[in-house]
Chains A and B, each alone.
Chain A
Amino acid sequence: MTTESLIAELTMQARPVARIAHARVCAEWCAVVLLCLIGGCVVSGVAEELYIRLNDPLFIGELALNVMLIVIAGCAATAFAYPDRAQAPLLKPALIACFAGYSGLVASTIMSAPALESSAHGLECFTCILSFAALPAIWMFWRLRSLASTRPMHAGAAAAMMAVATGCLGVRLVEHETAAAGLLLWHYIPLLVISAVGLLLGKKIFRW
């Protein structure tokens, strides 16, 4: 087929195009994340001592970092699905700041918690995170697939990171464990591992 005939064929398909706004997609995943968190908390029940733990600055810091990571990773994943937004200069520094915050948090937790508490978190945390993360992940990959990602691997990693950060936040709201060294092993290392899996998934799923 020649370029001219392709142009003629594409021109015949011209029709009014409904723009998919970046802000709309962001609002959609925000709603999905909120629904998922509320649903998860209703089903599993919010931890009884949550209100007491809300006085702990480390716990508040952790929740804030989780929310921040959800927002940054979600916005980044959405931006990576738009050709002209994929190079937003603030995405990388924001993610780096977020991980620096996590490093500080984990270091403070390890220093302040007794060594015995390192066994407080386990495989159950991980499966719970996955159950919280499943819906946002499925939704995010499905939604971004209909857009035009010019950085599919980045988009996949950011989408997976957003979903797992939602899982981490949800689990911290329903679990009874306090912060401990095991938090790093069972909450935040899986976050990085699943984000890496998201890189590969993005390459496969965001083909267009």
Chain B
Amino acid sequence: MTRRTENEARLAPLFAAAMQGERKAYGTLLHEVAGLAKRYVTRKLGPQAECDDVVQEILISVHKALPTYDPARPCMPWLAAIMHFRLNDWLRARYRSTQHVHVPIEDVQDFLADTVTEAPLAYEYVTKAVGSLPQGQQAVIHAMYHDELSVAETSEKLGMSISAVKVTAHRAYKKLRTRLEEE
């Protein structure tokens, strides 16, 4: 039996009972829907904090749209259409909001006097140079400087000994120095 058919078999009786007003069945249904929605949204968006917002939007939509559900028809297409619609709705709203970011001037006035070309340019050079390192060295540099972990934490995260982390980092510094001097 496919997952979709399994879901259908599990959810259809819950939908029918929920439409009769059975509170317990409705609660179970919403939990099941939340689980499905969470998997769907996480698959589409990745593990973001906003996933919960979309899941909640989907739950509210299911609650509102229940009168349009026909128990004689399969429930999964109905649910899938709502999940898809709400996710797209949320994405549209997010793109809209990122296009119109309002940053108060007080938040950036300290940085406005800074040079606007040197820092990003230097960052670009470093990023490019780090990208040319072998995978292991990249992982160590990324953990120590991007994630700001200590040597001990880096060794724990990457499953390496502390001395191996130090040696790898040292080799990475040497290569980086050479690459940046060449540039």
Contact = CB atoms under 8 A, between A and B. Distances in A.
A binds B: yes
B113 to A, nearest CB: 42
Contacts of A52: none
Q: How large is the interface on B (under 10, 10 to 19, 20 to 34, 35 or more residues)?
A: 35 or more
B60 A148 contact: no
Contacts of A186: none
B84 interface: yes
A3 B27 contact: no
A157 B57 CA distance: 26
Interface stretch (B13-21, B141-149, B163-171): B13-21
Contacts of A2: 52
Contact of B21 (A16, A82, A208): A16
A19 B26 contact: no
Contacts of B61: 148, 208
A2 B85 CA distance: 22
A127 B96 CA distance: 38
Contacts, number: 89
A6 B60 contact: yes
B59 interface: yes
Nearest to B73: A84
A6 B65 CA distance: 16
Contacts of A86: 81
Contacts of B73: 84
A7 B21 contact: no
Interface string A60-104: 000000000000000000000111101100000000000000000
Interface string A84-126: 1011000000000000000000000000000000000000000
Interface string B64-104: 11111111011001110110110000000000000000000
A55 interface: no
A40 to B, nearest CB: 31
A21 interface: yes
B23 A148 contact: no
Nearest to A6: B56
A147 B71 CA distance: 16
A115 B146 CA distance: 77
A13 B63 contact: yes
B30 interface: yes
B22 interface: yes
Nearest to A25: B68
A83 B31 contact: no
B12 interface: no
A43 interface: no
Contact of A150 (B31, B52, B66, B82): B82
Contacts of A16: 19-21
B22 A208 contact: no
A10 B30 contact: yes
B175 to A, nearest CB: 47
A12 B78 CA distance: 23
A47 to B, nearest CB: 41
A42 interface: no
Interface string B22-47: 11001100110010000000000000
Contacts of B140: none
Contacts of A22: 70
Given A14-B21, A19-B69, A3 B85 contact: no
Most-contacted residue by chain A among B20, B66, B73 (CB, 10 A): B66
10 contacts: A3-B55, A6-B59, A7-B30, A10-B63, A14-B22, A17-B67, A82-B68, A83-B77, A83-B85, A208-B65
